[in-house]
Amino acid sequence: MVVAFGVLALQGDFEAHARALGRLGRTALMVRTAAELERVDALILPGGESSTMLWLLGMNGLGDELERRIRAGMPTLATCAGVILLAKRVFPPQPSLGILDLDVERNAYGRQVHSSVTAVEVSAEVGGGPLMEGVFIRAPRITRAGDGVEVLGRHGADPVLVRQGQIVAATFHPELTSDARVHTLFCAIGGDHGG
């Protein structure tokens, strides 16, 4: 099956996700409008600034269609700010789409100067070895994961890579490393197992 992959390209480092998919032999459509969203089967929500993304989603009417598609089961990979966009509850409070049964605390690991690269312990479902490099930049912390959320990776005691149905969410930036396992998992969830 040929899957049309998209990357929400309103704000943030969406091009890094397109390059990550490119390394796996996939092409990504940059999604900025509801019409472009209709052309994709699976979507990446990149990191960036969550409140800015919410404002931009509201400005062009893309937010309602994005929420509808994800709730209808569109395979989605959310990273960093993308996790905040999907979370059920956000602290400090801000609006979100409320699709992913998580509570998250924004910028919980500190400001940009406290960004770090550290080991993430991953489950067998992710494939490969038990560790993966995690790039944390103003990352949110998952403070609660609902019963339907499977934890696939941890940084210490904190869940940092989770799955709920067709959604994979990473509080770190897998697109900034050479480890392709998170994007490979996303492609497989999207039904694209080939190169």
Q: What are phi and psi for residue 162, nearest 5 degrees?
A: -135, 165
Q: How far apart are CA 8 and CA 63, in angstroms?
A: 11
**Catalytic residue list contains 155:** no
* Residue 169 three-state SS: strand
Q: Which of 80, 105, 155, 183 is catalytic?
A: 80
Token readout for 127 is 């494939």
Q: Are 187 and 28 in contact (CB under 8 A)?
A: no
Q: Which of 105, 155, 175, 187 is catalytic?
A: 175
**Catalytic residue list contains 175:** yes
Q: Which of 17, 105, 155, 173 is catalytic?
A: 173
Residue 13: which residues within 8 A CB-CB, separation 6 or more? 46, 47, 48, 173, 175, 176
**Catalytic residue list contains 125:** no
Active site positions, annotated? 80, 173, 175
